[in-house]
Each structure stands twice: as structure tokens, then as C-alpha cells.
Amino acid sequence: MSTRFLGHAIHPMLIVFPLGLLAAAIAFDVAYLTTHHIVFAHVAYWNIVGGIIGGLAAAAFGLADWLGIPSGTRAKSIGAWHAIMNVLVLLLFAGSWVLRRPVHGHIPDQPALFLSFAGLILAVISGWLGGELVQRLGVGVYDDADLDATSSVAGHPVLEGVREPGALRRPHGTKRATSH
């Protein structure tokens, strides 16, 4: 149901980069606002660029995963909202980037800051929805996942000998371990 690399879903691995870069852009904006050192505005600008590029890469894999979710499910609906919000996040940060681009030192004005801060707030909400997809609805989680599952690379032709000591498969028909 999800695109994978060595047994792990790709989309969740990629989202940490744009989310981190865009959040760091906000931190550098705050640093600029408090110190007025132009280097902070410049770093925020380039973090936005990297965050948008990383977000587009993550979006490609997210779309592929979303297409694999069965229609009519709660997961399909939440996945659609997650995607729409993330597109808006990228558009808000892109707008902030466009406003900073022609300015010497890429110093943000109030509209650029508003767009970035709005983008970060929306990213937090969308991130929660992404967590709901994985942790509550099990999107991208193996059906046989549990606390004693075999390694994700077990049986991989290149990594045949790599196994976790003592890893056992859950007996068929038993539920995976959950916490409440």
C-alpha cells in the first residue's frame, strides 16, 4: 500500500527534511527579528527553498501512497485533507519566498512573515493528520507488524544474512501490540 525502500515507507522518511527546514526558517526569522543580523534572514530564505524542494519530493511519494488507499475509507478522506493542507503549506512558503526574493538580504516583510507563520501552523495540523494515518489507521504499516516482527530487510536478496536476533513473527490471527 505504500512505496518502500528496504522495507520502509519512503514518504514518512522524506517529510522530516521539508518539515525541519521550514520550521528552521521560522526559527531563523525569529532570530532575525530579535537581532537584525541579516545572515539570519538569508538562512531563512534558503531553508524555505530547501523545504519547498523537499516537500515536492515527499509529495510525489505521498501521492503514490494515497492512490493505494482503498476508496470510501476514512484513511482516503484523511489522506486527501493531509495532501491538500500540505499543498497549501508549500504555497504559503512559496509566497513568502517570492516576497523575499527581490529584497537585498532576503529580509522578510510582514506579509512574508505572515505567510511563513501561517504555513507552519498548517504544517503542524497536517502533520497530526499524517500521524493519524499511520498510527491510528495503520496506513503504510505491515499487517504482521508487532513487537517481535522480523527485520524489514529479512529475506531481502542483497541483505539475506541481516536479521535481528530473537525476532519472531506473530502467530497468525493474533493482533499487533497496541498501547492505550
pLDDT digit string, tens, across residues 102-125: 988 899 999 999 999 999 999 999
Rounded distance between C-alpha atoms, residue 89 and residue 92, angstroms: 5
pLDDT digit string, tens, across residues 36-64: 999 999 999 999 999 999 999 999 999 99
Is the pLDDT at 127 greater than 70, yes or no?
A: yes
Is the pLDDT at 176 greater than 60, yes or no?
A: no
- 3-class state of residue 73 by DSSP: coil
Q: What is the predicted pLDDT for the residue at 169?
A: 44
102 exposed, middle or buried (CB, 10 Å; 0-12, 13-18, 19+)? Answer: exposed
**Can you state the percent helix, strand and coil of the chain, rounding each to 5?**
60, 0, 35
Q: How many CB atoms lie within 10 A of CB 84?
A: 12
Q: What is the predicted pLDDT for the residue at 152?
A: 74
pLDDT (average), residues 151-177: 53
Q: What is the predicted pLDDT for the residue at 170?
A: 44
Residues with Cβ within 8 Å of 116's Cβ and at least 6 positions away in sequence, in order, are 22, 25, 26, 29, 44, 48, 92, 93, 96, 108
Q: Which helix (H) or strand (E) holds 5?
A: strand 4-5
Residue 47 phi, psi dihedral angles, 5° rounding: -65, -40
Is the pLDDT at 165 greater than 50, yes or no?
A: no
CB 45 within 8 A of CB 51: no
Is the pLDDT at 173 greater than 70, yes or no?
A: no
Q: What is the predicted pLDDT for the residue at 175?
A: 55
Is the pLDDT at 143 greater than 90, yes or no?
A: no
CB 79 within 8 A of CB 66: yes
